[in-house]
Amino acid sequence: MLQFTFFRTAYTQGAFLAMTLFIFPPYAFAQSGWLPTSWFPHTQNDPQAMYPLSEQSGPWLVLATTFRGDGARADARDLVQELRSENRLKAYTHEKSFDFTGEQRGLGLNSDGSPKKMRYANSTQVLEVAVMVGDFASCNDSRAQKTLAKIKNLQPQALMGDKGKSRAFSDFRRMIGLDKKSSKAPMRLAFMMPNPLLPTEYFSQPELDSFVIEMNADVDHSLLDCPGRYSVRVATFTGAGGFGQEAMSTSNDDGVESRLIKAAENAHRLTEALRKQGWQAWEFHDRESSIVCVGSLSQVTVGNQNGVQQPHPELLRIKNGLGPDPEKLAVGTILPKRVDGILLDIDLRPIDVPRQPAGRR
């Protein structure tokens, strides 16, 4: 039985993502503030380069095909080189290793009560190399879909005839009915998938409805205009309830609305005061509250020389500058800071910057 581990896993992810896109609007996965590397001057291809995948290769890519076995790296390199040189596609390789030599816990128990241990029938270590084409900001933009259609119809020389030593691709050709004389496109099962090097939360930015967008339409320093992926919430003003279009038209109680208006006024006043002090402040209003955030960060952690992730220096600067006094906090005295007479939050936290649906910015 053939084990197309990486291909099968990626195919399952693709099916899941297709279901997700059916349930949620496509713009929920669009990312702003990211520019394709193809927009910048191209450098000459290195004929020996593998072009390994990175976080900068785009949030979304086309999985063209995978190679497996002894010749996987060479076959993947040949295909990447051809896609780059002949088709002018930003192709990359991505490796995954699988170890089937160790013991695995089996079902049931031994007579002495210890767990059963099993081994794979074919104990081996497997290297799989995927070839991907990237630099796409979302899975549904026109450029991505045109590239996907193009890849599905390509007949690259690197995949034709007897070329290649990779066991997986040879097996794969037989599985989909390709022989030496076949005219079928060898990458016709290509599909879109998210960059496996990016964290899952990258694809789950909060989306906004039209009513909330209108609430923030005329704000000078709206959080919607923040270019970063994250900002730090420093103040929260609640209306002790919420309202929507229906509630506004049917409720006789003006208390909630007036409290939300007051919350919005305080958020605006605080934003202006913080900006006068040199902080990059933003305000945001929704049905239940108004918040003020500071900063624009692409990430909340950075790696030190030993590779250990630590809080981003800008995040620490904001917390130290606008958070409670750390010395007093250490002895149990919680004293939030005030700016223009307005109390800031005790717990300053980074949040995802909300985005408008694609096409509305």
Taking the C-alpha atoms of residue 240 and residue 187, their distance in angstroms, rounded to an integer, is: 56
Query: What pLDDT score was predicted for residue 322?
Result: 94
Choice among 85-94, 166-175, 188-197, 258-267 with the minimum mean pLDDT: 166-175
Q: How many CB atoms lie within 10 A of CB 94?
A: 25
Q: Give the model's confidence band at 90: pLDDT under 50 very low, under 70 low, under 90 confident, else very high.
A: very high
pLDDT of residue 264: 92
Residue 198 has pLDDT above 90, yes or no: no
Q: Which pLDDT score is estimated for 103? A: 66
Higher pLDDT, 33 or 267: 267
Confidence band for 209, pLDDT divided at 50, 70 and 90: confident
The pLDDT tens digits for 36-83 are 555 444 455 677 789 999 888 888 899 999 988 788 899 999 999 999
Q: Using 50, 70 and 90 to split pLDDT, how confident is the model at 319?
A: very high
- Selected residue with higher pLDDT from 290 and 251: 290
pLDDT at position 13 is 41
Q: Averaged over 156-162, what is the pLDDT?
A: 78
